[in-house]
Structures are given as C-alpha cells and as structure tokens.
Structure 1
Amino acid sequence: MSDDLHNATLLDLFRMETQTQAQVLGDGLLALERAPTDASRLEACMRAAHSLKGAARIVGVDAGVALAHVLEDAFVAAQRGALLLDATIIDRLLQGVDLLMRLAHPPGRDSGWAQGEGRAEIDAFVTSLTGQLAALTSDAAQAPGPGSTATPTPPAEPTAFDYASYGVPTSPPPAVSQAMTLAAPTSSATPVPYDDARDSPETTESGDSADPASRALRVSADSLNRLLRLSSEGLVASRWTRPFAQSLQRLKRHQHDAGDALDRASSALAQVADRSGEDRQRLQAALADLRRALSVGGQLLAEQIHELDQFDRRSTQLSQRLYDEALACRMRPLDDRLGGFARMVRDLGRSLGKPARLEIRGAHTQVDRDILDQLEAPLDHLLRNAVDHGLERPAERAAAGKPAEGVITLSARHSAGLLLVSVADDGAGIDLERVRRAVVARGLATPDTAQRLDDNELLEFLMLPGFTLRDTVTEVSGRGVGLDAVRAMVATVRGTVRIEHAPGRGTKVILQLPLTLSVVRSLLVEIAGEPYALPLANLSRTLALPQERIAVLEGRPHFTLDGKQIGLVSAQQVLCGSAPVAAPGDQPVVVFGDGEARYGLAVDKFLGERMLVVQPLDARLGKVPNIAAGALTEDGAPLLIIDTADLVRSIAKAVERGSLERLPMRAAQASGRTSKRVLVVDDSLTVRELERKLLAARGYEVRVAVDGMDGWNAVRSETFDMVITDVDMPRMDGVELVTLIKRDARTAALPVMIVSYKDREEDRQRGLDAGADYYLAKGSFHDDALLRAVVDLIGEPGS
C-alpha cells in the first residue's frame, strides 16, 4: 500500500468512493437476482466495478484493484451471456462487495489488513472467481462447431493470485496531490457521498467529467450548524425593522395631529381682537413658517418610511433565502442511510427460510442530517422485526394464496410539515389474542382488564421494554428491545410512533418525525404571563373548555374527550411552581400524551402558531426540568420550548404524590359574554377609586395597580383590553410603563390611555411619543370624556 494512504485526504476519498460504488454494486446484484439479464443493471454494475478499480489504482491499493477487476470481469461475462447470475453466483459476488468494504474500512482500522490477515481471504476469493470465469471463457472458446469432433481442453488449475497479472504496478505509484485527487473524475453516475463531518451539497456528474458548477466541497458539521444559527439570527433580526416602521407611522400620525392643532391655533389667532394688526401678522407669519416646517418634515418622514418599508422587504426576503439555503445544506436524501438494508433483508430472510425482498419508496425524501443519523438503527430494528415476526414461511404463504417471497416496504414522504416513515410487510398481521395472553402472563394487566383493551391499546404493549411474543431468544429476536428502542429514538427527536395491522394482510409501523431538529413548528401559549412553545407534533388537541365540562373525580379535575376521562392540570403550577390563578371565560387547554399518560394542560392563553428556530440551552445548565430548548420570536423576544415527554413524567410524579392543587374555576360569563377588562394604574387612591367607579358603573371589569411597576407586573400576568395610567408615579412613571407595553410584542396592540393633571402640550406630546393611544387631562372627568374615550378605543363592555 502506498505511503500516500497515510494522507487522510486520500484515504477518506477512497473510502467514500468505495462506499458509493459498493452501494451501486449491492443494489444492482439484488436487482439482478430477480432479473439476471437486465442490461442496464449489468452496465451500471460493470461501470461501478471499473470506477473502483481506477480509484484503487490511483491510491495504490493493489488488493482493491484485483477485487474490482475480477468483479468487472464477472459482469462483462454476464453481459456476453457466458455467465448466468443465479443465486449462488450472486452470493459469491456479494462476498466480493463485502471484501471491498472491509478493504476500505478494515477491522480495527488496521491499514495493513489487506497485506496481512486479509491477504489470504482476498487471494482465495480472487483466485476462485478468476478460475471460474476462465473455465467459462475456455468452454465458450473451445466449444466444437457443427460437425466438429474436437474435445475441449480442461482449464488449467488456478494458482495463487498474482496481482501483477492485472497490471498492478509492483512499485509504489507516484504521489498524487490533493488537488489532483479532488478533481479526479469517476465514471459512475452516482454522486460521491459525504460523511457526517464533511457534509456538502449533492454532486452530479455527467459522463466522465464533473460539472464544475456542481462540485462537492467538504464542510464540517460544526460549520454548517454555526451557519444555520447565524442565518436564523439574521432572519429574526431582519424582522426587527417592522416595529420600528410602525413607530414611525405613529409619529406620522402624531405629526398630523400637531398640524391640525396648529391650524386650530391659527384660526383662533385670527379671531383675537385685542392684539394689534402688526402683532397678529407676526404671529401668523411664525405659524405659517411652522406649518411649512411641519409639511416638509412630514414629507421627509413619509419618504423615509417608504424607503424603510422597501429595505424591510428586501432584508426579510434575503434573510429568508439565506436561512432556507443554510437549512437545505443540512438536509440529505433518506437513501444516504438506506445502503445495505436491501441486502440485510435478503440475507436475513434466507437465513430464516423466509425469502424476502425490500422495496423502497421515497428514497430521495429530504431529511435533516441529525434525524437521519438517528434513524438508521430504528429502521434496522423494524426491518428485522418485519422479516422475523411479520412474514410467514413459504408453505404458509402458499396456503394463503401469497407468493413465496415476502415483500417489506419502506416508505418515506413529507406530509403537513412532518416526515412520515413507515415499514410495512405483507405477512399475516399481529395475533391480538396472543398479545392479550402475553400481557396477562407477564402480569401487566388482569384477565378482566385485558379483555376490555381495544386493538390500539393492545398494540401499545408491543413497544414496552422487554415485551416480546417469542418464547426463546435467538440472534434476531426474543429480548423485547426492538420496538422499545424505536420508540425511545422517536421520542428523542420529538416524534411519535404507531402500529397498524390488518389480519392476514400485514403490519405497518409508522414513524411521524419533524423534518428538521433545527426548526420546530410550535403552538405558542401564555403561562403565568410568559410565552412558551409546545411542539405541534406532540400535541393531539387544543380546545377552549367551558366550566360546565370540568368535573372533579377523586379530588382531581377531569374532562371527557372522545369518550375518555382526561386529567386536567395547571401549566402554571407544573412549570412555575406557583398556585394556579382563576380567570374569566373558557379554559384554554392543550391535550398531549399517549394512552393512560394523557393530560390536558390548562394555559392562560393561546398566542398562535409559529415556526421557531431551536436554540440549544447552554450545556452548563444541564437538563432543565420540562424544558427542551430555547427560541426567539420574530421580534427577538426569548421563549422556552417545553419538553412534553419530560412534562408528562413530571405530571405523573405530581399526581402520584398528590401535590397538584385543584384548578380554580374561571369566572362565569354574563349573558354568555365576558365584560371587557380595564387596568387602572394610579398612585392616588382617590383618583383610582374615581376611575374604577366610573368604569364599573358602565359595566367594565376593573383591576387597579398602585404604580407603574405594579401595573407592568399586572399586564404581564393577566389579560386586559385596555390600560389607563397616570404619569407621575413612584418606582415607574406612566411614560415608562407605556414604553414597556408598546415594546413588548405580546402587548404592543393593547390600547393605553394616559390620564394626567399635566395638560401642557409638551407633556401630551411626551406621552404620545411613548406610544399612548390617547391623552386626557384629569380635569375632563366631569364631562364623561373618560368614558367616551374608553368606548372609542375598546367599545362597550359587552360588545
């Protein structure tokens, strides 16, 4: 072996090339087993072997040259009709493919394996297959023609294999530069793959030369992760300009109001009679100059708003495209991890006396790299289960009118923003009565309870740890870890698994997974005044639960859904450890969990659906209870993503300990409708009570706060339709309160009115500039201006 193989770049390239071409050879041989004369498959296999021979020769792997050459000879012989690819020959050629893979990935990473321990095995294979091909060639060449009496000469006994007979140089090849190796074309139409540490976009090739525009580049997974993280942050940052543009729109409205006020002042000045004409002219000229200045300022502001809108659109579109491209770099076709499954199904079926083949649908479905890496082992479990447990023996299949060869179907597709992967067999299905007996025998349920279990509940037992229908342990099954491992993996990526079966027609296991772990489609909810995200893939239902549907069973609140009792727990108590707080109206509830561990989570409010970029928490925090990760909303505000599996465990423990408090009933609605809620913030007891009584007498529900800080805490923890605040208050004044409310995305749309003794224009302007929707002097209380302003902003109490 050449010293150049000590160069990691050359070794990695050869390994990648071998893995790619071995996949082509393996798939082609399995297809040729069913159609031995398929010309396109024979051509593809011959070219793959030829490409491997060239790659092995470049890096000086003599044994690889010999193995690939003898395989190429076999395919050429099959193309000429001299070699019939029956099951025995297919097994032999697959053995050669296995040797090529072991050559590229030697046992114990021993670079000298092919020249040491593996030399005898490789020599024996090459010599044996070479002799067999030589015998076929000799028979064809010496076959007597019509009327001939000549007898064919038997082939010479094959001797020990000599690598030099295949043109392998006896001296090491010249060193090959990295640039030459990277540019070396392959004659296969299959793209060169890339491993986990060197992800790159798929490379396409045509003929013997690669398209320079589609060349593959090696990029580390960490670099891609950083690129995706930065692009997601850029996408969030690009949307921060929208609130700024909205503030400019408010400024424009305020400037328009200032212009109207100026016009009124000018009209009033014209009616003043106690001033001299000269004074009036000077004042009118000053007002005219001010009006022109306002007009010019308004025009400039409108232009800036227009330019900002254009920038916002371009920035958002560009950031979205950048993020989409970065995310696409993480996506890989599913068949990147399907190599060897068809071979495994075939070999396992033959070893068990159950002929089987694998059909793959949707092999090019794009999957996130992290999910794809974790999907390989579960698929291996499911395919082995399908062959061992699902398929019948040939005699049983014949009696049922089925072909002797069983078919396992692996399917993948995108649906509603999720990845659906299923493994189905055409076997006899699941014997549910046998499952029922196994459940009772293992003490998992009493006989009476087991008889009441429906089909779906029985199928859930198959995924319990240690549960199996086998009485004996074999190399393939019997330990009860297969489906349990599948469920565990699916849970780690926030997915679900379910089993479907049809008696006599087969069984299907369906994995529902997110398309990517980098982005999660979530339902945003408010809990104790803070936003949280619940992954939609883990939720089964959302509903607004009327109080009359909540019943107390054994001291715990429940409600009925689809004919089953669902426990109702407070999200505020489970996540925050604080007592739940009653609120008016129907109770927003999120239903999640499976089977008996199914709960309704009572939240404060639904905030809508979002696509969130997952931001992993700092590893130094360890596992935060009930929290999976963090994320940023469109306005840059942070929130936490709930770990629903962990939450189910936390609820189960709390229920077992009896530590969950009873959920308080929400206030009843008057005439089927809830009165509008108003928060009054003022440090003066007299003013607070005056405003409260005025609003309550009109029919509004009123809550009071003693200063700006108290009001801000109330706004974050409760839901209001409007806030009325003073300006001068301790701890936090009204202008600061308005600023915080309008900057927070959750409360930015909340109408705010300032009521103050300060009636100067600069005081009014300061409040409006902070974002207040209305400014009223306290001296106007007596003419009901307060009530009219409230009705103008939020309408009547019951509307």
Structure 2
Amino acid sequence: MTQDLSQFSMRDLFRIEAEAQAEALTTALLALDKDPMRADQIEASMRAAHSLKGAARIVEIHAGVTIAHAMEDLFVLAQQHGTQLDHDRIDVLLRGVDLLLSFARSPDLESGSRDGAWQAEADRFVLELNQPPGEGTRPPAPAPVSEPAPVSMPVPMPAMDETSSIPGSTDRALRVSAENLNRLLDLAGESLVESRWLGPFGQSLQRLKRLQLEAATALESLRALLPAQLLDERAQIALDKAQQRLLECRQHLSQRLGELETTDHQATTLAHRLYDQALAIRMRPFSDGIAAYPRMVRNIARELGKKVRLEIIGERTLVDRDILDRLDAPLGHLLRNALDHGIENPGERLSAGKAEEGVVRLEASHRAGTLQITVSDDGRGVDLEQIRQTVIARNLASPDTAGKLSPHELLEFLFLPGFSMKGEVTVISGRGVGLDVVQEMVRQVRGLVRVTSELGEGTRFKLELPLTLSVVRSLIVEIGGEPYAFPFAHIVRAIKIAGDQVKTVEGRQHFSLDGQLVGLVGAHQVLGCAPADNAEDELRVVVVGSPGAMYGLVVERFLGGRELVVQPLDPRLGKIKDISAAALMEDGSPLLIIDVEDIIRSMEKLSSADQLAQVGRKSAGRQEERRKRVLVVDDSLTVRELQRKLLDHHGYEVEVAVDGMDGWNALRNGRFDLLISDIDMPRLDGIELVHRIRQDADLKSLPVMIVSYKDRAEDRQRGLDAGADYYLTKGSFQDDTLINAVVDLIGEAAV
C-alpha cells in the first residue's frame, strides 16, 4: 500500500525522519562504545548519518547537513582506515545526535529564525569531532542524564502508530488523538456489552414458543374432551382456525429464532473482534518507551566510574500506551538507583570475586494476565541492618519494634518519601526522592511493586501492572446478594476453607495459609451489607494484603473471573468508600469494583476498634423480618445503582425507576415506605412528581426525599415547597448523610 503523506509538510517529514534515524544512530553508537570494531554497527551508523544529511539538505537545514556530513566522514574513516571510535569520540557523536534532534523538534524549524545560531553550534561540533585523540583539550565528560530523553513523536504530530509514521513504511499514517482512541475503546466495550442483549431476548422467544406449544396441546385436549355433537359447525371451524394459527405462529417463530441465533452469534463475534482490535491499537511494544535508557545508563556509569552493561529482555512485549507513558519516570528512578546504590566500583567487584562489569537487567513480560516488569542488578544488595538503624535514627519506629521487623517490612521503608541511606547528596541520588514516585505510579494504575534483595548478590524490583487501564481482569463475587469485582492483581488467593479450619485467637477469627495466620472478616460487615444466612460449613474467602498483614474477606459466592471494561464513577460523587470504579456485566447489569487498598484500611480500622463480627453460620431469624421498601427514581444509571446498593446494604428493600413517569406508575402499583427522587428527569420531573403525590389521597402521606446536584438555596426551597420532606445534594454520598436522612424519615430498615 502506498503511504499517504500529503497531509505533512516537508519539515514535518524531516521531524519524523530525524526521530527514526536518531534512534537508529544512538543504538549503533552505544554498541560501538562497547566494541569499536563492530563493522555492522559502523555501517549502520554511516547509513543513518547519510540519511540524516540528505533529509536536512532537502529542507535546507544547513547546520544539520554540516553535523551529519562530519559524522558520515568519521564513520567512513573508521570503516576504511580503522580510525578508533573511543569513548570520548562516542560522547561527541551522541551530542551531535542531540543537536540534530533539537533542530528537528524546535518550534523555530519552520521559520528558520535560528539558522545562524544553529550553524555556529554545528561548527563547534565539527571542531570537537575532528580533534585528534590525545591532543589538545578533550571535550568534557557528559553530565549524567537525570531523566530519559523524550522519544515520543514531535509536538505537531498527534498520537499515532510510530512504526507507520516512518517514511518508507507500507502502512498509512493517520492523525488520531489519544482522546479519540480512548473513546473508540470505550465504545467498543459498550458494543461488547450490548451484543449480549440478544441472548436473553432469544430466551424469551423460546419461552413464547413453549407457551404456544402448551396452547396447541390444550386445544387438542379440549377437542378430545368435548363430544363432537356438542360442537356445531361454527365452533369446529373456529377451533380448526385457532389450531392452524398456532401452527403458523410456531413455524414463523421457529424461523425467526434461527435467524436471531445467527444474528446473535455474528453480533457477538463482531463485537469481540472490534473490541480486540480497538484494544490492540492502544498497545505499543515495550521498546518504544525505553529507547533512552541504554544511553542514560552509559552516561551515569561513566560519571560514577563504573562499568555497567544494561540487558533488556522482552522488548516486543506489548504495553498499554497510557501505562507505557507513565512508566518513564519510575523506570528511570529504578535504573539510577541500581547504578548508584547497587552496582559496585570495579575494584570493589573484583575484591568480591565478581566480574569487573556489573549487569543491570530490565525485563518485561506477560504473566497470569498482568504486565510484569523487573529491574534487577547483581550489585551489593541492600543492607537490612543499615535500614533498621536508619529507621531508628529517624524515629520511624522504636528500637524494640525495629528489631522485630521482617526483611519484607524493612524493605518497605525504602518507599517512604524522603527515605535515603546515603550520607551525601549527589546529582544522581541521595535526597530520598524516587522510590515513593515508583510506588505512587504503580498504585495509580492499580498495580503492585515488590522488592527483594540479598546482601552481596543484588536487588530486584518487580512491578505487577494491569495489561491495560481500560480493562481489568477481576474475580466476581457475591456479597449481600450483589456482584462485586476484585482485581486479580490485588488478590493473594481465593480459596474455600472448612469451618473447622477457623480458629479464634484473643476473640478474633483466623485461619492458617502457608504457615501464616490470616484474619477473617465478613465482607458484608466492611461494605455495610445485610449478612447472608450461611448454611454451609465451607467459607469462601478472598485473601488480600501483603505477607505479615493479610486479611481474608468472607464472601457468599465465587461467580468466576471476567475481563471488565472500567467505567469511572461520576467525579461529582466524590470518593466512594471501598469502591474504585464501576463496570457492566455481559448481560448489562452493573457492578462495583472494589478498591482493595481502601478496603484493607477499612478492615484495619474495624480491627483496631475491636469491632469485627464473627463469620460463619448465622441465624435466619432476621430473614423473617419485613424490610422497609424504598423507591429510587433517577435517570442516571450510576446514581440510581449507587443509591440502590447503599440502601440495600443497610437492609432496605429497594426498587428503582428510570424517570418521573416510571416512578409515578410504580407508586400507584406498589406499596413503599419512602420515595427518593431526582429533580431533572425526562417525561416527568421530580417537582411535578412530588406535586402528584401530595394531591393523591392514597400517597399524600408518603415520605419524600429529593436528592439533586442542585445545591442553591432557591432550588432547595422549591423542592420543599413542592412537598418534599428532605432535600439532599448528591455530593453527600461520600459519607453517611443519605442513610442518616433515611433513618430520620422512616427509621431502621427492619420493621
């Protein structure tokens, strides 16, 4: 396929060409830094420099031509005459690459206003490059790179597939914004959910088919039971016609059902393909985000006087674009820490019986449905006793407590802001800033970070991240009769345990898992649900937390694992306790995704206050109590479901209506103890609904609460004047205000 580049100016194309060739040139120079005689890398460097020279000449960037031509000449000398490309010359060449990139990315590229200044820089570069080795003043050693150089597309080029943006590629390059790409994935996820609606519809038609069969059978039975003489000719004709119509309906319905099943299969398959393709567009190879790291490692190692080899494994591993962008700073911190804290000086390594050259390894892979990234080194490792003494010196723990801390607990202190064991501050490290940034980024994307170390052998940081931020692989469980999702990345284990495995220690229930005691907590208690009557001896437990601080949440049922399209909650609702987001099941029913870190804090709070209830068999006595009924009327699915779950968790029986008219019909056909209504709704708004209630003889005494985003005094007065008993703003959902208001109006849930 011919690539359509007509939308780009020639200087836009130069930016693209410079990005691609500079990356190739940098890779080749770093390889030559380790082995100056590699002919293939000299050839690759010469080709890249030649391409850059030609591109710069076409767009009349003369400074770029000067730099690229000088580079090309040097590579020809190295190739034909064996000119040595030592470390200093590699430094100068890399600075030349930086100059070319700065020209290409400059906002002044189009105007040419800086051509004179650029040419002066190019001339200085040529003088440095042509200076004979060992004569005169050598260029200064490169300063350590504190952050990886950006390798993203230049500013004028919106987000696109980088491999398709290089001239000569067989793919077309299209301008696609990240926002549009995210919206495409959201719509693909919604189409996947919507495609599942045909299944239940087909099942309802199957039930209709069975009813028709029962009707036909009933007519046959009626004909057999009635003597022929009791049926006159008109009755016989009517009966025959009814049987014929039923037969035709059954045949027609059978044909339509076959077509529906085919359509259902095609729609579901197409929705899956669409979603998979939309998700694939968001994925980029891991190598796209780490191009700057080899050079960064080389520069820092030279600054520190160390010999280090960076090994990268899994460069082709696909990573979500958003996650890859967020990994930039954390991985840079981990690599700098490995170089400064981990890898020893050559003399120290030789004394320890190690190779003079240290190894830092960066690895990416997909395992168990997660993206796993590790940064490890074969350096000196972490001195746990030094951490212990630092903890005591900074009053982070008493000497007695610090003396009892396990290796895992001690290593966790490394992630505290400002925590450092270096005595002096350098341009590379020593301020204690870095690892807290790593942990914060990992938490933001619902991941985990773990560190292990062995003194004298090295240190290993392992990041477990979701494959994408738009989809989360989760375990679906039932709590209080409602489905909830636990992200797999935060689950230690999901198991069933027998009742006799539960032991009570100092009034608290535990069970043993891999030699560790795990505290048991009823999930219904943490979330405020009515407890289910557990008539089984087995308990279903979701284990969360970390070694030494694990909790087992007792749920009612395991419903299986699913990939869920994450739907953020309306930000106006504030932070919902123990909940991170929402999602839709394949049948379209909503569920909430548990915020595992938040729910762990809730369990710790209950435990410290000695408020944990016992889990296990419960009396069914409460099941016989009548629960008060509440009707929730709101046109927002998110708000409607949030209110329903909140009320249901506190024991109320809840029905929902999608607008005022739907709510009015529900009130006239059912008995309710309370109405909770929004104001702005289609067909019939909340104010008019309240007016109708107050004018109805049977409903006028019904307690009414208005819950609205409108929080002005005149809005509140308008609702109360209409006859509402309570006016509440939706921003209050983050606390117990709604439940307290309900209790004030109608009392506790049970009658």
TM-score by length of 2: 0.75
* 1:584 equivalenced with 2:535 (yes/no): yes
- Deviation of 1:630 (Å): 1.8
Q: Residue in 2 aligned with 1:636? A: 588
Q: Given that residues 490 and 496 in structure 1 are in contact (C-alpha distance below 8 angstroms), is that contact kept between their aligned partners in structure 2?
A: yes
Q: Deviations over 1:430-449 (max 9, x none)?
A: 33333333334334444454
Q: Residue in 1 aligned with 2:356? A: 404
Q: Residue in 2 aligned with 1:42? A: 42
Question: Which residue of 642, 650, 662 corresponds with 2:613?
Answer: 662
Following the alignment from structure 1 to structure 2, what is the Cα–Cα distance between the partners of residues 554 and 14? 72
Give the aligned residue type for 2:373.
V
Task: After TM superposition, list the pairs within 5 Å mapping 1:706-717 onto structure 2.
Answer: none
Q: Residue in 2 aligned with 1:478? A: 430
SS at match of 1:198: coil
Task: After TM superposition, list the pairs within 5 Å mapping 1:538-553 onto structure 2.
Answer: 538-553=490-505
Relative to structure 1, the CA distance from residue 304 to residue 482 in structure 2 (aligned partners, 3 Å threshold; closer, same or farther) is same
* 1:465 equivalenced with 2:417 (yes/no): yes
Q: Given that residues 587 and 666 in structure 1 are in contact (C-alpha distance below 8 angstroms), is that contact kept between their aligned partners in structure 2?
A: no
Following the alignment from structure 2 to structure 1, what is the Cα–Cα distance between the partners of residues 376 and 215? 72
* 1:498 equivalenced with 2:458 (yes/no): no
Q: Deviations over 1:1-49 (max 9, x none)?
A: xxxxxx9966654444323222211111010122223232222222222
Q: Deviations over 1:475-508 (max 9, x none)?
A: 2222222222211111111111112334443222
Following the alignment from structure 1 to structure 2, what is the Cα–Cα distance between the partners of residues 412 and 637? 35
Q: Residue in 2 aligned with 1:198? A: 158
Following the alignment from structure 1 to structure 2, what is the Cα–Cα distance between the partners of residues 407 and 104? 34
Relative to structure 1, the CA distance from residue 465 to residue 596 in structure 2 (aligned partners, 3 Å threshold; closer, same or farther) is farther
Give the aligned residue type for 1:262.
L
Q: Deviations over 1:584-634 (max 9, x none)?
A: 334433221224553322333332211111122233334333322221111
Relative to structure 1, the CA distance from residue 238 to residue 716 in structure 2 (aligned partners, 3 Å threshold; closer, same or farther) is farther
- Deviation of 1:640 (Å): 1.9
Compare CA radii of gyration and give the structure with the larger one. Answer: 1
Question: Which residue of 482, 486, 489 corresponds with 1:530?
Answer: 482
Relative to structure 1, the CA distance from residue 308 to residue 8 in structure 2 (aligned partners, 3 Å threshold; closer, same or farther) is closer
Q: Which moved more, 1:119-128 or 1:377-386?
A: 119-128
- Deviation of 1:546 (Å): 4.3
Give the aligned residue type for 2:206.
Q
Relative to structure 1, the CA distance from residue 496 to residue 217 in structure 2 (aligned partners, 3 Å threshold; closer, same or farther) is same
Task: After TM superposition, list the pairs within 5 Å mapping 1:260-659 onto structure 2.
Answer: 260-269=217-226, 272=227, 276=229, 279=231, 283-553=235-505, 556-576=508-528, 580=531, 583-585=534-536, 586-595=538-547, 597-656=549-608, 658=609
SS at match of 2:517: strand
Relative to structure 1, the CA distance from residue 79 to residue 717 in structure 2 (aligned partners, 3 Å threshold; closer, same or farther) is same
Q: Given that residues 356 and 406 in structure 1 are in contact (C-alpha distance below 8 angstroms), is that contact kept between their aligned partners in structure 2?
A: yes
Relative to structure 1, the CA distance from residue 332 to residue 543 in structure 2 (aligned partners, 3 Å threshold; closer, same or farther) is same
Q: Residue in 1 aligned with 2:202? A: 245
Relative to structure 1, the CA distance from residue 60 to residue 116 in structure 2 (aligned partners, 3 Å threshold; closer, same or farther) is closer
Q: Given that residues 63 and 114 in structure 1 are in contact (C-alpha distance below 8 angstroms), is that contact kept between their aligned partners in structure 2?
A: no
- Deviation of 1:718 (Å): 13
Following the alignment from structure 1 to structure 2, what is the Cα–Cα distance between the partners of residues 9 and 429? 52
Give the aligned residue type for 1:543.
I
Q: Residue in 2 aligned with 1:53? A: 53
Relative to structure 1, the CA distance from residue 591 to residue 113 in structure 2 (aligned partners, 3 Å threshold; closer, same or farther) is farther
* 1:126 equivalenced with 2:86 (yes/no): no
Relative to structure 1, the CA distance from residue 545 to residue 210 in structure 2 (aligned partners, 3 Å threshold; closer, same or farther) is closer
Following the alignment from structure 2 to structure 1, what is the Cα–Cα distance between the partners of residues 110 and 594? 46
Q: Given that residues 533 and 641 in structure 1 are in contact (C-alpha distance below 8 angstroms), is that contact kept between their aligned partners in structure 2?
A: yes
Relative to structure 1, the CA distance from residue 132 to residue 110 in structure 2 (aligned partners, 3 Å threshold; closer, same or farther) is farther
| Unmatched 5+ stretches in structure 2 | 1-6, 136-150, 632-643, 652-665, 672-751
Give the aligned residue type for 2:566.
V
Following the alignment from structure 1 to structure 2, what is the Cα–Cα distance between the partners of residues 398 and 550? 54
TM-score by length of 1: 0.70
Following the alignment from structure 2 to structure 1, what is the Cα–Cα distance between the partners of residues 18 and 49? 10
- Deviation of 1:110 (Å): 12
- Deviation of 1:50 (Å): 2.1
Q: Residue in 2 aligned with 1:229? A: 186
Q: Given that residues 579 and 592 in structure 2 are in contact (C-alpha distance below 8 angstroms), is that contact kept between their aligned partners in structure 1?
A: yes
Q: Given that residues 373 and 462 in structure 2 are in contact (C-alpha distance below 8 angstroms), is that contact kept between their aligned partners in structure 1?
A: yes
SS at match of 1:312: helix
- Deviation of 1:249 (Å): 1.4
Relative to structure 1, the CA distance from residue 561 to residue 111 in structure 2 (aligned partners, 3 Å threshold; closer, same or farther) is farther
Give the aligned residue type for 1:127.
L
Count residues in correspondence.
Answer: 622
Q: Residue in 1 aligned with 2:721? A: none
- Deviation of 1:702 (Å): 8.6
- With a CA cutoff of 8 Å and minimum separation of 6, indicate the structure with the bigger relative contact order: 2
User: Percent of aligned pairs with the same residue?
Assistant: 49
Following the alignment from structure 1 to structure 2, what is the Cα–Cα distance between the partners of residues 646 and 196? 41
Following the alignment from structure 1 to structure 2, what is the Cα–Cα distance between the partners of residues 374 and 588? 36
Relative to structure 1, the CA distance from residue 625 to residue 202 in structure 2 (aligned partners, 3 Å threshold; closer, same or farther) is same
Q: Deviations over 1:542-574 (max 9, x none)?
A: 233444444555555444433333333343343
Q: Given that residues 567 and 599 in structure 1 are in contact (C-alpha distance below 8 angstroms), is that contact kept between their aligned partners in structure 2?
A: yes
Following the alignment from structure 1 to structure 2, what is the Cα–Cα distance between the partners of residues 307 and 296? 17
Following the alignment from structure 2 to structure 1, what is the Cα–Cα distance between the partners of residues 365 and 25? 26
Relative to structure 1, the CA distance from residue 702 to residue 436 in structure 2 (aligned partners, 3 Å threshold; closer, same or farther) is closer
SS at match of 1:314: helix
- Deviation of 1:115 (Å): 4.2
SS at match of 2:323: helix
CA RMSD of aligned residues (A): 3.7
Relative to structure 1, the CA distance from residue 718 to residue 525 in structure 2 (aligned partners, 3 Å threshold; closer, same or farther) is farther
Q: Deviations over 1:164-213 (max 9, x none)?
A: xxxxxxxxxxxxxxxxxxxxxxxxxxx9957797232353599x8442xx
Relative to structure 1, the CA distance from residue 205 to residue 220 in structure 2 (aligned partners, 3 Å threshold; closer, same or farther) is closer
- Deviation of 1:58 (Å): 3.3
Give the aligned residue type for 1:508.
R
| Unmatched 5+ stretches in structure 1 | 1-6, 137-190, 669-676, 680-700, 720-728, 735-799
Relative to structure 1, the CA distance from residue 13 to residue 573 in structure 2 (aligned partners, 3 Å threshold; closer, same or farther) is farther
- Deviation of 1:106 (Å): 5.0
